[in-house]
Every structure is written in structure tokens, then in C-alpha cells.
Structure 1
Amino acid sequence: MTKDASVTRILCTGASGALGGALASLHAVPGVHLSLWGRDRTRLGLIAEKVSHAGAEAQSFCLDLTDGQAAIDAVLSQDKEAPFDLAYLVAGIGDTRAKGDLVENPELVLRAAQVNFATPAAMAAAIAGRMAERGHGRIVVIGSAAGHHSLPFAAGYSGSKAGLARFTDALRIAVEPYGVSVTLAAPGFIDTPSTRNASSSRPIELSVEEAARRIIEAGRKGMRHYVTPWQFSALRMVDALLPARLRDQLLSKLKP
């Protein structure tokens, strides 16, 4: 992918996952340094090796985002050492209600809130503050089209992504006057190993490479809220316009 002249140092969380790895790989050109965060040490190492072979510099950092304070401390430390021009906050878990359960496991809901919302939001605030002081920077937060809908089998996931969406929009308004752009990217279904295992019904699915390319372009354009594919924007409007009782009936029939 063509190098962005204004970007030399990039943070990418979730780099051991399919989407984070694809974003990192597309930015891997000579002259770029990528700080790659992930939970899976083995897969993180493979992505770092791929990035290095493409001519970029790679630094791997393994951390579970349930430890929010450690994540804040680490990202501020790395930014102090060499300031980030661009940050992709990709990490998240998509676990849903187990078969046979009436509601989601409370520990699952808590983990989703920590990994999908609390820690990435805190990290975004930390990085945005530094970027605002410097007068430039770009942050791309990965949400989900699911954050626009009250999914009864995935209340923890959709709720955490909805919270992340509202926070990201508020952060964008706060730091935009200081030269910092904040984009919320809310993709629909992406063809990854985890989504294949989680669900057999994935309409309008994107390849992970295509999703990554679209998200990168949305960030470059400084879009405030990018939903892809476009059909999920239409579904969002339908959800908002339907009578409440009909909407609830339709949502109650959805399965993982």
C-alpha cells in the first residue's frame, strides 16, 4: 500500500487477530514503525515477521486488555519514547450467549465491557490527549455494525460496541479543534476464522483485506463514522424507524 507521508509511527492493537494483522500488513512499508499489540504471542510474532519482511520496523507487545491500567501506562510510555502519528484500536471479543442459556454469562458480559469498551476508550483518551498537545494525529477506533442494534443473544457485545461508538464520537468533538481526527469504523461481517466458528449466517461478508483497505481509507479521509458495507447503514435506519413492538419481535428471532 502507498505510504502516507504524514505517518511514520503507528500503534495497532489486536494485531494478532485477522483484522488488526491486515491493517498492520497494509501499512508495512520502509520508513514506518509499527507497535503491534495482541493477546496471542505466537500469531503476534508471525505478523511482526511479515511486517519486517515488507521493510517496516515492528515492535511486539503482548497484553490482555482486561488490565486497563497496564494498557494505559504502556501506551503512554511508548508514545513518550516515540510519538504515534496514527493509532488503530482494533482489539475486541465477539463471544455471545452460549447454547441453552437464557441470558449471557455475567463474566462474559464483564469481559466484553472491559475489552470492547473500557480499555480501548481509555487508551483512545490517553493517545488523543498526547496528540492534541502536539497539534496533529489520527485515531481509528474499530466498532461494529452490531453496536447499532439490541441483539438479545449478544447483549454484552452489542452493548459494549454501542458504548464505544458514543465515546468515540464525543472524543472526536473534543479533540478535533486541536488537529486530531478520530474515526469510528463499524464494519459488518468480516471473513475471519473467529466469525466462521461463531456463526454460519454472515450476510454481505467482506474479506479481511478488503475491510482493512476500506477502514484505512476512511481514516485517511478523516471520516467521523464509517459503516461498511453500506447495507448495514440501511439496516441501522430501519432499526431506528420500525415501531418498537415490531422491532422487538424481529430482534427476538435472531440467532448467533
Structure 2
Amino acid sequence: MSILITGASGAIGGALARAYAADGVHLVLHGRRRDALEALADECRASGASVALASVDLTDDGSLSQWLDALPLPDIVIANAGQNTHAAQDREMEDWTASSRLLAINLRAPMAMAERLAPRMAARGHGQLVFVSSLAAWHGLPLTPSYSASKAGIKAYAEALRGWLAPRGVGVTVIMPGYVSSPMCAAMPGPKPWELPPERAARRIVRGVARNRARISFPFPLNVGCWWLAVLPAGLSQRLLAWMGYGRRQ
């Protein structure tokens, strides 16, 4: 089995690589921090997996296409690379340069990967695309508008793509985690209820992907709460978020 994981030098990506590492598994690990990737590769090889590393710029269409076209087609592709940004209290809006960069890596890059790989998977008759969204996709958080938009966008894209590719034997799964311990999580403003270690998140993801689940959302209490934010009248949801500490301070 061959598995491609982007963002493997991050907390969730690294935990997924370790969870999948075993005899007979080939891992293609992509990340920006080469030293972290090398250390992760050593761990995965010690567990029996063969490993290839890559650091191509996912936001460069030409470089991304060239890299993906040259790869032996993976069985599972996990588009996990992502960034976060948030609105500073002393600014009226988020920094647009940071937001543009975030949208490129969180939303456009996974879509570009699917555009290159899905036709090959369909022609082969099997494969699975896995997109990492967030529980913030249920209802946008006032402190992280661009991040919420990117995760809502990739959720909608993955759900639509699943229906489109299912007749061709290609599975599509969207991952919607809550707070998972990582430097990115620590930098996010607001409360972080039911925060999970990345290893626990990875186990849930691996089980769900193996079953080709359409959506893997966790932890359960936070998922239910975020789902209700999407169901309730928007004005009420906004008041609840402000009351819980996710609103802007006056």
C-alpha cells in the first residue's frame, strides 16, 4: 500500500505517518521542515515502512503538477498541509497577504492535488482522497474568518467530489477535527475545549479512512456543539460564540 501525506512535518501529519508505518507500506511524506521530515522518516523506516520525502511548493501549480505526475499513483492521498491566521484585536480585518497565503495552501492546493490525481485513480478503478477540514467548517469563528472559510470550502468540495467520484471506485473522506495539540493549535486564539493529542486524532482518522467514511468529525461533544451552531439561527449562534469567548473584545 502506498500513502501520500502532505504536511507530514506537522503534528497530525506526523502522527498519521507513524500510525500507517508498517511492513509493506510505502509512505510519501511532504513537508516544509526537512529536518523534521528526516527524523520522521527514520521512525517510520524503523517500523518497517519504506519512505520517500518531498518539499515541493504546493501552491506552485507547475511544480505541484510535475511532482504528482511523476509519482507512482498512491492508494491513499491525505491532503493535510495547512496554515492558520487570525484577526488581531488592534486591526479591523485580518492581514490580506496572510489570508491569501492561507487560502492557497488550505483550499486551492488540495483541490489542485485532486485535479491531478483523481482522474488517474478513476482510470485505475480505486483509490482514496482524504481532505483535512475542521469543526470550524460548521460555523465560522469570529476570531478566524479566513481559516473558517478555507475549511468550510474544502469540506464542501470533498463532499461534492465524493458523490462525483464514487461511481468510478474512488473514495473521498473529509476530516473535521476539533482542537489537536500542536504549535498551530497553541497559536489559535480562544478557548480550546476537548483538546486531543495528535496520536489519538490519528487513530480515529486511520479507522475512518479504512472504512471509507464520508466524514470523520471529532471529538463528539464539540462536533455536536459546532453542528448546532450551523443549525441555529445565525444571530443566536454569534451571541453564543461571543459568550463562550470567541468574539472580539471591545
Report the TM-score when normalising by structure 2. 0.92
- Alpha-carbon separation, structure 2, partners of 1:234 and 1:187: 12
The offset of 1:114, in angstroms, is: 0.4
- Alpha-carbon separation, structure 2, partners of 1:156 and 1:249: 20
C-alpha contact (below 8 Å) 1:144/1:161 kept by paired residues: yes
1:78-97, aligned counterparts within 5 Å? 78=71, 82-97=72-87
Residues 47-76 of structure 1: per-residue CA shift (max 9 Å, x gap): 111111212111110123232332233112
- Alpha-carbon separation, structure 2, partners of 1:203 and 1:68: 37
- Work out the percentage of aligned pairs sharing the same amino acid: 36
1:70 to 44, 63, 66: 63
Helix, strand or coil: the match of 1:216?
A: helix
1:20-169, aligned counterparts within 5 Å? 20-78=13-71, 82-169=72-159
The offset of 1:106, in angstroms, is: 0.5
Match of 2:6 in 1: 13
Unpaired stretches in structure 1, ≥5 consecutive residues: 1-7
Unpaired stretches in structure 2, ≥5 consecutive residues: none
Residues 151-173 of structure 1: per-residue CA shift (max 9 Å, x gap): 22211100011110111111111
Match of 1:254 in 2: 246
Helix, strand or coil: the match of 1:191?
A: coil
C-alpha contact (below 8 Å) 1:96/1:104 kept by paired residues: yes
- Alpha-carbon separation, structure 1, partners of 2:153 and 2:189: 23
Helix, strand or coil: the match of 1:206?
A: coil
CA spacing shift, 1:159–1:69, aligned 2, 3 Å: farther
Helix, strand or coil: the match of 2:194?
A: coil
C-alpha contact (below 8 Å) 2:191/2:246 kept by paired residues: no
C-alpha contact (below 8 Å) 1:108/1:156 kept by paired residues: no
The offset of 1:97, in angstroms, is: 1.6
Residues 218-239 of structure 1: per-residue CA shift (max 9 Å, x gap): 1111111111111233123321
Number of aligned positions between the proteins: 246
The offset of 1:255, in angstroms, is: 4.8
2:226 is aligned with 1:236: yes
Residues 105-126 of structure 1: per-residue CA shift (max 9 Å, x gap): 0111111110000011110232
2:195 is aligned with 1:202: no
CA spacing shift, 1:233–1:33, aligned 2, 3 Å: same
Root-mean-square deviation (Å):
1.7
Q: Partner amino acid for 1:26? A: A
The offset of 1:244, in angstroms, is: 2.7
The offset of 1:191, in angstroms, is: 1.1
- Alpha-carbon separation, structure 2, partners of 1:202 and 1:164: 22
Report the TM-score when normalising by structure 1. 0.90
CA spacing shift, 1:200–1:166, aligned 2, 3 Å: closer
